[in-house]
Every structure is written in structure tokens, then in C-alpha cells.
Amino acid sequence: MIGPSSDVAGIIAHLETLRSEENISGMARFGIVTDKAIGISNPDLQKIARTIKRDHGRALDLWRAGIREARMLAIYTADPAVLTPAEARGWSEDLASWEIVDTAADLFVETPFWQQLVVDFAEDDREFVCRTAFAMIAGAAVHRKQEPDETFIAYLPLIEAHSTDPRNFVRKAVNWALRNIGKRNRTCHAAALKLSEKLAASSDKNARWIGKDAVRELSGEKLLARLRG
């Protein structure tokens, strides 16, 4: 039985007892990298994370195991107050699946140095590392409720600069970041909608897709009613 005192070997042994080839096939259909997957759903991994509890040192060891489920548990049980910039950048070296990226982004935005990571990751040429920057902006716009609006409005030029990136996982995260900024509140909405309309009129097909999709969501009556309220 695994618990708070369980070591990495014991946790991985437990994960192997839950292996599902059917789930692995299903994950692959959603674009999740499965070459080192065991096939455990994220809700089930979250239950395991609650059982084994937070342990930052063990989380680093789980990440080094290289198994998809071990890395998801590493993210769920790492401590953002203890995580160092070097550790976060080290993890970024291994990012190769949108699912891991988006989960790690939620952890990274809880750190005190998250804004520097956004800058560093956005400048990275690797598709999944670059995606991490915009997944972080998207997550921070929702979860960092005490952050000044100016923080997010200041990211709009970065979003515009990357709006012409043709890579699928970057393009979708840029769009996600723009939409989430626009949904934050009325101040952010006005600035994000203005950029969305500009991109929608772009001659670049990627920027145009990002802009049109964002305009559609940010102009929705349900959202506008919430922002007015």
C-alpha cells in the first residue's frame, strides 16, 4: 500500500499494477506522448498524489524516472515554494508532450519567479518549451487573482510577436493565453479584444486564426454579461 512514506520504487511499482493498454491507446489518440506511459488517467493520478502527499525531493526523483505517470505525480507533489529556477529549467529540457507542459505550467505559475520563466521559455526555439510560456500566461490569468492587470496587458506584445508561429502546439497556446487574458476582467478584456481584432485582420494565416478565434470568444454575450456584472 502506498502512502506518504513511499519511495519512488514503491510508487512506480504501484503504478505498474494499474497499467492499461487500452488507456494508452486512448491517450495517443489525443496527441499525448505514450512511449513511456502506463495508461493511468489524470484524476486517478491526482488521487494517488493526495495519498502520497507533497514531497519535493521525491518529486525530483519521480521526474527523473522518465515515465509519464511518474512525471505527472512529480508535478502534482512538487512544492512551488521550494522549486528552484534551475530545477524548473531542468524539467523544461524534458518537455515533449502538451499534457505534461500544461500541467507543469500550473506548477510554475505558483513560483515567485514565474515571470522570468515566461520570458525565458518564450525565447526558446523548442516547440514544447515555447508552449510552456503561453500555457503559463493562460494559467496565471485565471489563477493569480491578486496579480495586477498590467502584468497581463504587458504580455500582449509577446502574444502578438508569437502569433505568426505556425507550430500547432505553440499557436494554440498563444490563442489560449490571449483568450484567458481577455476573460479576466473588463480592463484586460478591452486590451485583449483590441489585439484580437488586429490579429484577425492580419495577412498571416496563423495570426488571423488566433485573432478570429479570440474575437469570437471575447465577443460572446455570456462572457460580456459576466464582465458587466
Residue pair 68/34 in contact (Cβ under 8 Å)? The answer is yes
Q: In the prediction, which pLDDT does 3 show?
A: 76
pLDDT tens-digit readout, 131-140:
999 999 999 9
Q: In the prediction, which pLDDT does 62 show?
A: 98
Rounded to two decimals, the pTM is 0.95
| pLDDT under 50: residue ranges of the chain | none
Q: In the prediction, which pLDDT does 1 show?
A: 72
Q: Which domains does the chain have, with CATH numbers?
A: 1-79 (no CATH), 97-228 (1.25.40)
Q: In the prediction, which pLDDT does 4 show?
A: 78
Q: Which residues contact 96 (CB under 8 A, 6 or more apart)?
A: 33, 128
Q: Which amino acid does the sequence have at 228?
A: R
Q: In the prediction, which pLDDT does 2 show?
A: 84
